[in-house]
Amino acid sequence: MKRDEDRKRRFRYYTLNFSGHKARTTIVTMTLAVAAFAIITGILSVQLIAGGGQKGIAGRILHSISGQSLGTMLSQEIPMFAASVPMAAEGAPYPKSIASMLLYVFTDIDTSNPLTLLGYQIPGMAVADFKLLTPDPAYDTPPSDHDFGELPPNLNPKPREKVEPVQSDKPQVYVYHSHNRESFLPDIGKTNPNLAYDGVKNIEQAGKWLLGELQTAGIQGMQTTEDYWQFPFDDAYDYSRKTVQQVLGEQKDLKLVYDIHRDAGEREATTRKVNGEEYAAVYWIVGGGNPNYKQNAEVAAKLDGYLKTMYPGLSRGVWARPYNANFDTRYNQDLSPNMVLIEIGGPYNTLAEVERTSKALAKVTEAYLKDLQESDSGVTVEEAPAQK
């Protein structure tokens, strides 16, 4: 008798009854939840594969979940883990808490940056976050942002013929143009700055002039002229990013990478007179929220120092754009510590003025590379011109 009771205790079994109403409801609910999760995951995956930028839900999720964010969440659950998490760098770019991350994903509002909220209510507030890195009384006007109203300028872009880029075997300087059709009103017969875009007469010519001048000095360079205008304007950097990644993977001798643009300011702000001739003014732009920020800023400051010495008055300074949840402000500079975004002139400048500036930038680039080469060889050289 006792042995029978021991056997019953040893071989217990359970019967699950799925015929009840609650059991069926539970099964159906779990099945629907799994299906919904699979559908949402599939949609987000397709969006990422299709090249959706940071403005898409999938892109914002990826931009929200940084290593620092994950470390913060783990440290909240595992006390001992907190001691091993490095402190966030100044101006850490992404929301740290789960609540902040979710708010950013679904509303584009970053709790660490009040401008992302004010920018929706106060015109111009969202773009008023440039920071001057080279203090100078002459640098009183920050770069302008493009304001197209409700419609982007490339809503219905017309195809263009292929533009032949500058090529070389072992380039030291690489030039590309994320907003490649930015143009200049006097040369395209238009007066509306919101229409200052052209498939042929555009900022790509600045890259050709710069590289041509470098080639004359014996410095090889290369340019890509992909037409990113056919894609959504807000996603231009996502598409140019693919080109830059390919070039950086193939060209190992690059010393400088320029993404050359055109500013959107008035002529008074984008024109300077040097030695009696009018030039298109130069802005150096450094993207925030990227691990190469310090190196990018140092490169830009050195180049600006040469420009101020060689062409006094032509520079409008080095400006940094801190992280902003409304758009990706890295400008692809996280791909290389030697990358700088350059804005030459504005819509009211002429291509002749842009050509003068492009050739001046080539001289500046030549001086920078020469000193860099001598520095690498161990030769003592003078420091880059100090900012006044």
Return the half-sphere exposure (C-beta side, CA atoms, 13 A cut-off) of residue 165.
16
What confidence tens digit (pLDDT) does each residue in 108-127 have?
Answer: 555 555 545 544 444 444 44
Structure token digits, residue 123: 């015109």
User: What was the pLDDT predicted at 89?
Assistant: 36
- Residue 283: beta bridge partners? 343
User: What was the pLDDT predicted at 383?
Assistant: 40
CA dihedral 318, 322, 325, 329 (to 10 degrees): 40
Q: What are phi and psi of 164, to 5 degrees?
A: -75, 125
In the predicted model, residues of the chain with pLDDT beneath 70 are 1-20, 44-128, 145-152, 154-156, 324-327, 376-388
For residue 255, CA distances in Å to 79, 173, 337, 365 come to 44, 6, 10, 10
User: What was the pLDDT predicted at 30?
Assistant: 85
Q: Can you tell me whether residue 316 is helix, strand or coil?
A: strand
User: What was the pLDDT predicted at 53?
Assistant: 47
Look up the pTM and report it: 0.69
For residue 147, CA distances in Å to 17, 52, 144, 330 come to 64, 22, 9, 20
Of the candidates 62, 126, 57, the residue with the CA atom closest to the CA atom of residue 323: 126
Return the half-sphere exposure (C-beta side, CA atoms, 13 A cut-off) of residue 22.
2
Q: How many CB atoms lie within 10 A of CB 22?
A: 7
User: What was the pLDDT predicted at 384?
Assistant: 38
Alpha carbon distance 260, 358 (integer Å): 10
What confidence tens digit (pLDDT) does each residue in 151-172 have?
Answer: 567 666 777 777 888 888 899 9
Alpha carbon distance 58, 173 (integer Å): 34
First-residue to last-residue Cα distance in the chain? 101
User: What was the pLDDT predicted at 360?
Assistant: 98
